[in-house]
Structure 1
Amino acid sequence: MRLQLTSTDDFTTLRRLFDDPSFHGWGGPGRLSDELIRAKYLGARLPDVECSLVLVDEQAVGLVQLHVDGTDFGGIDLILSPSARGQGTGRRVVDAMVSRARERNIARLTVDPDVQNERGVRFWRAVGFEPQSTITDDSGRAPYVLMSRSTALEPASGPRSSARR
């Protein structure tokens, strides 16, 4: 798996991804227009929003965003094609995004899966995000779970000693 920052050259790849029914509703209602894809996902919002293609064996299988919310806070949005789910790709993407956030001096990250996306909520918990609140009054959006985690390096666990030998 590798991440590749998007550029205007990636429109056709993004169009193909967003034409997949599993992407419908992500980034806007229904199938996204060409104009919205160009405006939101091809680098026009740098440096505040970094968009990257998720590549597995050089095939685009998803999209991830890192956005800055203030001086030391940020957020991640991630979507993977169904064929890339359940294989550890998402976990590797999150690890890479946490490292990238750390490089940008972002101390804390948030995600906001829809409440009805139980699989998504479980995934984000599994990669270290903890629920903070459930938001039910965000106009134009289904209820979602606001989750966060620190980007601090976890202390390395050394060899465990045991009284029993």
Structure 2
Amino acid sequence: MYINANMAEQITSNLSLHRGNNFYRIKMSGEADIDFVNAFSRIVQEVEAHPEMTCLVLDMEEVSYIDSATLSVFIRLIKIYNTDKNKVLLYKPQMAVEEVLQCTNLLSLVTLCRTQAELDEALLETGKKTSRPKKRAAKTKKKKPVSKKKKPVRKKR
């Protein structure tokens, strides 16, 4: 995986921020309720301070509940990160959380990754989009050789 363990910051017992090469990963666990919102908001401020990060992974594998206060912070994150250059990846949400995000239409604004392989592929794809394309050498057009075919002679009648 891409995460450098030295770059992890534990915000609370159920929320941590990991910094990868070109992305952040917010790892959440437990119930994302009103008590969760203050720590989550601090993470959003950290994320806003680093616009060079091209991807945000929300690891919700261990989140069992999400309330409206947390959804408002979630919406703020999506507004920050869901652009042409940046991407929000939602990793392994539990069914109850996924249903809430589906009902609020927020699921349509993120890329859902249900497996580690899907997450790795999405991160690689994001990296490809943000890297500069290689310059191609200008192609020179080759002239086609002119064929000197003899025209068929028509017989006169």
TM-score higher than 0.5 = no
Q: Which has the larger radius of gyration?
A: 2
Q: Comparing both structures, which one devotes a greater share of its residues to helix?
A: 2
